[in-house]
Structure 1
Amino acid sequence: MAGPKDLDPSSSPRALLGAELRHAREKAGLSQEELGGRLFVSGSFIGQLEAGTRRMQPEYARMLDEVLGMEDFFTRNCRAAAKSRYPEHFAEVAETEALATAIREYAPLLIPGLFQTPAYARAVNRAYAPTAPEEVIEEWVAGRMERTRILDDPTTPLLWTVLDEAALRRETGGRTVMAEALGHIADLARRNRVIVQVLPFSAGAHTAMQGSLKLMEYEDAPPLVYLEGVATGRLEDDPATVRHHKLAYELLAASALSQEKSLALIEALAQDYTHEELP
């Protein structure tokens, strides 16, 4: 695995923890694999902690303090790194996607967060929490829009999404909201900022019918896959698991419409929503 990159300890609590972990590990004369073995995790997982692509959980912080003789340094400081505006099951994903060099995602039921408009995000979050106070919904929407800032860079990360036709036809927030949402996706595609393919209903059965998946790659850390369900999700770094889902994604892309045909369908549906002619 590539060596961990130099981190700016002042940039974030996770950067501080990663830099200190690398320093403490090297001082102890341990490789990433050796330290991982003492924590019953992979060397790749240790590398991801050092690179800041994985969040340090309290149980690992306690074990690292014990193994590396750090008293309670990691235990105390991981509390600061754990603060997030996102739901617990998604907080680490939101942080790791901001560091990714490439993101490939299959979205079966809704437009992915990185593609959402504020109105669409508001409708989705209201559906998730129908009794939540308005200020809570707006805070969630603000957090989702903050994630989309990674698209401000014209080239990084590479963002390639396969959208199920169901996500485009499910009327979320009303026809006006959908017209705006699909128009936004089309604009991103026409500006060559993202790669978008649509998996049509006519494709039939496929490799990811059981749920969504998100593959993330990094410059100096192993790839991750994120699998999500209702109010739950998990990050996986096991190489065999990542390879399995990478193949699933490649098969999805092979079954999807071309970029040109996908864009044409998205724009046609946006027009249909605008003119209230959707069948």
Structure 2
Amino acid sequence: MSRLDRLDPDHNVWHWLAVDLRVWRLERNLSQADVARICDVDNSTVSNWESGTAKLPQRRAETLDRVWKTRGHFTRLRTLAESSHDPNWFDQYTQYEERSDTISAYSALTIHALFQTEDYARALIAGAQIVDDVEGAVATRMARQEIFNRPEPPDEVRLYVRQTVLEDPVGGPEVMRAQLAHLLDMSQHRGVVIRALAKSKATHAGVDGSFTILRIGQAEYAWSSAVGGGRLVSDPVRVREYRLQYGRIGDDALSRDSTRSLLRELMEAMK
């Protein structure tokens, strides 16, 4: 089965957009190369839009509406897709995560999955009571950390985390102490940056919740966590907003050395 055959435009708005792009292109007797020239992208990008493996950016949708005189059709359809929930978003996010050149994460409630110990992850997953196969879910989460063992690991993995997250005794003091020790060890690795936001900084740019920004080549994606799922953002304008927010959070974070000192203090307190 081809990628086109797997599209489900009746139940997925992104797939609807992908199918419409192909239909309207063929109606105009245009090739993918023609659309690539219109949108100033390469041929493979258009192919990915039509197969649903990449999302048509807002700016390109506006370009197609202008050139094809479609009266805002693609722009409106893309806006609808962006506002609709896609149950496959997390699967897509983890695929991007696996290939990322850089990862910039902010953790407001729990430590990011890429930095969790197995016992910490198990305590979180079991406590949430949302899956039957806890061990399977733990194994899946731990497998994501294999990105650090790639032949060419990410250039940088950066974590900003609230101090209150570091103080929550998830799984009990022993489990949490081991988790803090793991963070301390990870902070020494090349390409890994861990910085905490002190409790004294109660108001900052991250009060709205956790999110992660991934960069693959020149493309960036943002993942925003939410109850029962999350949202994957690919539009460059919106991703830039996340990037600016991330920079503001970093402005208020402790230095790397101060964060290491904090981790040691919290480990001592949990003895």
TM-score norm. by structure 2 comes to 0.69
**Structure 2 unaligned spans of 5+:** 7-17, 56-86
Structure 2 distance, partners of 1:176, 1:197, is 22
Structure 1 distance, partners of 2:107, 2:139, is 21
Pair 1:249 & 2:246 matched: yes
Q: Which range moves more in the overlay, 94-103 or 146-155? A: 146-155
Structure 1 distance, partners of 2:41, 2:229, is 26
Do 1:32 and 1:43's aligned partners in 2 also have CA atoms closer than 8 Å? no
Shift of 1:149: 0.7
**Number of the residue aligned with 2:205:** 207
Structure 1 distance, partners of 2:47, 2:242, is 22
**Structure 1 unaligned spans of 5+:** 1-12, 58-86
Pair 1:178 & 2:180 matched: no
**Number of the residue aligned with 1:6:** none
What are the Cα deviations for residues 206-260 of structure 1, in whole angstroms up to 9, with x where unaligned? 11211111111111x5211111111221111112111111010001011000000
Do 1:172 and 1:178's aligned partners in 2 also have CA atoms closer than 8 Å? yes
Do 1:108 and 1:167's aligned partners in 2 also have CA atoms closer than 8 Å? yes
Structure 2 distance, partners of 1:95, 1:232, is 16
**Number of the residue aligned with 1:101:** 101
Do 1:228 and 1:234's aligned partners in 2 also have CA atoms closer than 8 Å? yes
Do 2:162 and 2:196's aligned partners in 1 also have CA atoms closer than 8 Å? yes
Cα distance change, pair 175–56 in 1 and its aligned pair in 2 (3 A): same
Counterparts of 1:1-279 in structure 2 under 5 Å? 29-31=31-33, 47=45, 50=48, 55=53, 88-129=88-129, 132-133=131-132, 136-153=133-150, 155-219=153-217, 221-273=218-270, 275=271
Alpha-carbon RMSD across the aligned residues, in angstroms, is 3.3
Do 2:103 and 2:154's aligned partners in 1 also have CA atoms closer than 8 Å? no
Do 1:103 and 1:160's aligned partners in 2 also have CA atoms closer than 8 Å? yes
Structure 2 distance, partners of 1:196, 1:212, is 15
TM-score norm. by structure 1 comes to 0.67
Shift of 1:112: 0.4
Q: Percent identity, aligned pairs only?
A: 25
Structure 1 distance, partners of 2:225, 2:46, is 20
Structure 2 distance, partners of 1:166, 1:125, is 19
**After TM superposition, which residue ranges in structure 1, 4 or more long, deviate above 6 angstroms?**
none
Counterpart code for 1:184: H
Structure 2 distance, partners of 1:48, 1:254, is 38
Structure 2 distance, partners of 1:263, 1:48, is 46
Cα distance change, pair 43–171 in 1 and its aligned pair in 2 (3 A): farther
Aligned residues: 214
What are the Cα deviations for residues 60-91 of structure 1, in whole angstroms up to 9, with x where unaligned? xxxxxxxxxxxxxxxxxxxxxxxxxxx85421
Matched residue SS, 1:180? helix
Cα distance change, pair 226–33 in 1 and its aligned pair in 2 (3 A): farther
Matched residue SS, 2:110? coil
Structure 2 distance, partners of 1:141, 1:48, is 37
